[in-house]
Structure 1
Amino acid sequence: MAGRGMELSLGRFCCVLLSLFAGLASGLEITSSVQTSIEKASGQSVKLDCQFSLAPQDSGPLDIEWSLLSSDNQKEDKVVILYSGDRSYEDYYEPMKGRVHFNSADPKNGDASINLTGLKSTDSGTYQCKVKKAPGIRSRKMLLIVMVKPSKPRCYAEGPMQEGKDIVLRCISHEGTNPLQYSWEKTSDGMVLPSSAVMDPVGGTINVRNASASASGNYRCTARNRVGAEECVLYLNVTPPPNTAGIIAGAIIAVLLILLIIAFILFCCCRARHRKKYEKEICNEIREDVPPPKSRVSTARSFTVGSQRSSLGSMSPSNLHEYALKPQYDKIPSSEDFERPPSRVPLPPPNGAARMPGPNLSRMGAIPVMIPAQNREGSIV
């Protein structure tokens, strides 16, 4: 009986302790509305709410700690901002330095909320607000998703812009948090897409099959996600198909004309070459076959007679006596003597380059004469 009484008294004591701890723990409470996820665009600001209330039994120092929880259990959580000893430490986390602040100038009044400005995509993650005031401890978690709005998309067309061909209109935004959605619309000519157009909202394309002239016009593409939208404009001009037969005929004619021009140039070059060769041959034949002119003999004869007379007129009496002793000078040679030399003596060369000495000419019966100097035209110098 005594052992049973001790067990009952021990159980009552434990119940009293549990009720006491429960009463102490229930003094500190976080009163903010439950919000598990927040989505914001990059560059914007966000308020992470954390309101709390204290009980009279919470008499210890107040500590408030905001941390960014690591997605990997092997890594430590990163403390973003801290309040301890009635002092705020807002530059505690270097990547958010100058961008995170307490919402209240005095957080101990029950407002542990923080404001985060200039959001970046790297700010995404799970944040935890922890409030400590002995003996109570309370915490709250929330997910922040920083989304990047779509960048201005680029619109362009692929394929031949001709009637009867398939044309693909593409719209691409290189930045933006997925999922991105694309939509196309025609902004001219009734604002109705061609009946044969097939649109892909995920890939951002619109395929216009068997395009006709009515497909021409202005088109607008809009890229959007949950935090923003951007658009681009494209003008499509569908033209009739080209005259393929005319293009081929024109190409053939152009090739033929080029070949004719080349052939004409080659013909002219060959003809000029043959003409130059023919003129060179004719010039060589003239130099070898044409005999020297005979005008020199008659000219020499006429000048010889005149020169003898002039020489006789200029002689002195002593010279006349010596000249009279020479009978070979009394006879004036005839033209036949100049034109036909003695048969025993060979004819001199036509050009008169080789000349016999005076004694040999006297032995052969030649008469020395004085010939005046002449220029090329035959006149006396």
Structure 2
Amino acid sequence: MESSRLLWLLPLLGSVLLSSDPSECVMISPTDQTIVTKAQGEKVTLICKFTLASEDVGQLDIEWVMVQPDSEQTVILYNTGKTYDTYHMSGRVGFVDPAPSLGDGTIEILNLKPTDTGTYQCKVKKLPGIDTHRVQLTVLEKPSRTKCYIQGSQEIGTDVTLKCTSQEGSPVITYNWIKTTDTDQLPPTSVLNTDTGDLLMKNASQIYSGSYKCVSSNRVGTDECSVVLNITPPMNRAGTIAGAIIGTLLGLSLLAFFIFCCCKKQREKKYEKEVHHDIREDVPPPKSRASTARSYIGSNRSSLGSMSPSNMDGYAKTQYNKVPSEDFERTPAQNPNFQPPKVAAPNLSRMGAIPVMIPAQSKDGSIV
């Protein structure tokens, strides 16, 4: 009777064994860590704790991979008692528990980068059991290098805009302005744009003056900057315009004077260069008056040497200290005032003159 009952239970036991799922032998402990957001440069801990069943008799394998749209990129492995971490995150990733085979396959990634963003999968396998768990990691960059400045005239009655922007940081970045002088409340006429960081203040008055701070933030961090607003009465625009015109005219005058001096200097250099290279024919020097005077005086002295003392009366009056003029060098035709010196007949004979008879002429020109 008992043997017949056992034979009846065997088919039922076999069906139960065949219908059981081997993957339920290895079980990863449930966790609410499915989405994680971290800042660049920080570290993250991805949890993967599991339990094994007595039916799992194969070798234990723990594998972390980054799931790509069309492939998987290995992060770290544990197999047959050894850890393999020489992949694209080498030096930045490791198991939290030095002995992950005891049921803790949690890993830690250091110095996160924006490229580390992705879906990570933990797979625990000990045949015939297999189980997996996935977590979405997002690495963001904190806002940094935030700058504040003022746009527009800081005069009473004008519209002034305080601008704030972060040069680095992952979107979405929001901006918020607060007044740090006297009160945290912004002026009543101000309009804030949290997306662009612009704070518009219409019809500004002196009570708007003070220090303002802008805080930029995203999901992983904040940054800030400050600016000082000083609302002043309107300035004398007429005087400013007149001063600008006078300054411009003076500048143009100085520029024109400088150009004139340069042009003049250039012309002088050009003239000197032309004169230096110009070859001219030498003009003969004028006749020397001193030589004429010396020849004249010498001739007179030779004449005087042949004269007797009785004939020296006429020449004694001659002033030899005077230099003869150019009249002596001209012919009688060229110099109508020229009169040759008078010499007595006896003196002419001593000088070797030959007497010549000149026929007389009548009034009508006939020879007598």
Give yes or no for the alignment of 1:188 onto 2:192.
no
Q: Which has the higher helix share?
A: 1
For 1:133-144, list aligned pairs within 5 A: 133-144=126-137
Q: CA RMSD in A?
A: 3.8
Residues 44 and 367 of structure 1, relative CA distance in 2, 3 Å threshold: farther
Preserved CA contact (<8 Å) 1:329 1:367: no
Match of 1:156 among 144, 149, 153: 149
Q: CA deviation at 1:334?
A: 7.2
Q: How many pairs were matched up?
A: 285
| 1:16 match: secondary structure | helix
The percentage of counterpart residues that share the same residue type is 39
- Maintained 8 Å contact 1:64/1:84: yes
Counterpart residue number, 1:37: 35
1:194 shift after superposition: 2.0
State the Cα distance separating 1:351 from its structure 2 match.
5.1
| Aligned: 1:132 with 2:125 | yes
Distance 1:86 1:205, change over 3 A: same
Q: State the alpha-carbon separation in 2 of the partners of residues 172 and 260 from structure 1.
A: 45
Mark the CA change 1:242 to 1:136 in structure 2 (over 3 Å): closer, same or farther.
same
Contact 1:184 1:206 in 2 (8 A): yes
1:329 is matched with 312
Gap regions ≥5 residues in structure 1: 1-8, 267-303, 336-348, 369-381
- Normalising by structure 1, report the TM-score: 0.65
- Relative distance call for 1:351 and 1:255 in structure 2 (3 A) is farther
Query: Cα offset for 1:229?
Result: 0.7
1:161 to 1:16, Cα distance in 2 relative to 1, 3 A: same
Letter in 2 for 1:80: V
Q: What TM-score does the superposition give when structure 2 sets the normalisation length?
A: 0.67
Q: Secondary structure at the match of 1:112?
A: coil
Change in CA separation of 1:367 and 1:145 when aligned onto 2, cut-off 3 Å: farther
For 1:47 and 1:22, locate their aligned partners in 2 and report how far apart those are by CA, in whole Å: 34
Matching residue within 216, 232, 237 for 1:223: 216
Partner of 1:376 in structure 2? none
- Partners of 1:353 and 1:110 in 2: CA distance: 145
Report deviation, 1:259: 11
In structure 2, give the amino acid aligned to 1:220. Answer: K
Instruction: Describe the shift of the 1:250–1:153 C-alpha distance in structure 2 as closer, same or farther (beyond 3 A).
Output: closer
The answer for the alignment partner of 2:75 in structure 1 is: 80
Match of residue 377 from structure 1: none
CA distance in 1, matches of 2:157, 2:330: 101
Whether the 8 Å contact between 1:103 and 1:112 is mirrored in structure 2 is yes
Question: Unpaired segments of 5 or more residues in structure 2?
Answer: 1-6, 261-296, 319-323, 345-368
Question: Quick one: structure 1 residues 246 and 123, their matched pair in 2 at CA, closer, same or farther if it must change by over 3 Å?
Answer: same
The 2-side partners of 1:82 and 1:146 are apart by: 23
Q: 1:351 and 1:14, CA in 2 relative to 1: closer, same or farther beyond 3 A? A: farther
